[in-house]
Amino acid sequence: MNKVIHTPLILASQSQSRAKILSQIGLVFQSIPSGIDEDILKKQGQQEGWPIETIAMELARAKAQQVSDQYNDALVIGADQIMSCDGLAFDKALSLEEAKEQLRFISGKPHFLHTACVLFYAGQEVWSNLSTPILNVRLLTEEFIDDYVIHLRDDALRSVGCYQIEGRGAQLFDCIDGDIFTIMGLPVFPLLQELRQRRVVLS
């Protein structure tokens, strides 16, 4: 019998983009930020020479672990995403001038979005996924970059790479290899497959 098990679902994040995705696909959940200091964990990973995708996964785990320890009866989603280009990892731009610098750097190049997602239950990891879309940025003129940042203003600082793929950011690319949900920060299809197997959603 295909009966749903009513396990509470928590997103261990304050990400508006991830929350919007979960709401749009029909999941009922709470958003509870973990409060971990991501900069400390990133710095540790850099000092110890972790690959960029490992840093993303450890950040996702740390978020989910912290929330799961407080909510033992819930299934907790932890996610993180790090962009890399030419072997360098990027954080969100802190200013509009820094946003322009990021756009100049990725112009005419492919970059990678290392997107990690985990599920924790009762303080234990029960599932994980790492997906890495590849996005090919076309050659951007200085005129385009200036106009783009003027139009986006603070929205250019909301996400790494200075774009929202579902909006004006689509103009940056020649082509992409990966699904839009993962690019937006959450690998929806493998996550839903796992939730169906756990009977959290109908199969």
HEC string of the chain?
CCCCCCCCEEECCCCHHHHHHHHHCCCCCEECCCCCCHHHHHHHHHHCCCCHHHHHHHHHHHHHHHHHCCCCCCEEEEEEEEEEECCEEECCCCCHHHHHHHHHHHCCCEEEEEEEEEEEECCEEEEEEEECCEEEECCCCHHHHHHHHHHHHHHHHCCHHHCCCCCHHHHHEEEEECCHHHHCCCCHHHHHHHHHHCCCCCC
Does the pLDDT value for residue 1 go beyond 70? no
pLDDT for res 71: 97
Specify the residue for token string 């290392």: 114
pLDDT tens string 106-161: 999 999 999 999 999 999 999 999 999 999 999 999 999 999 999 999 999 998 89
pLDDT for res 14: 87
Q: Nearest-5° angle of CA 42, CA 167, CA 172?
A: 70
pLDDT tens string 29-55: 999 999 899 999 999 999 999 999 999
pLDDT for res 122: 96
Q: Is 75 exposed, middle or buried (0-12, 13-18, 19+ CB in 10 A)?
A: buried
Q: What is the token pair recorded at 42?
A: 């990133």
Q: How many whole angstroms separate alpha carbon 91 and alpha carbon 124?
A: 28
pLDDT tens string 172-191: 999 999 999 999 999 999 99
**87 pLDDT band (50/70/90 cuts)?**
very high
Q: What percentage of the chain reaches a pLDDT higher than 70?
A: 98
Q: What percentage of the chain reaches a pLDDT higher than 90?
A: 91
Catalytic residues: 80
CATH class of 9-197: alpha beta
| Of 199, 152, 189, nearest in space to 5 by CA | 199
Does the pLDDT value for residue 91 go beyond 70? yes
Q: Nearest-5° angle of CA 79, CA 80, CA 81?
A: 140
Q: What is the token pair recorded at 22?
A: 């979960």
Contact status, residue 131 vs residue 193, Cβ threshold 8 Å = no
Single-letter amino acid, residue 58: E
Domain ranges of the chain: 9-197
Q: What is the token pair recorded at 99?
A: 């946003």
Q: What is the token pair recorded at 185?
A: 């920060």
pLDDT for res 5: 73
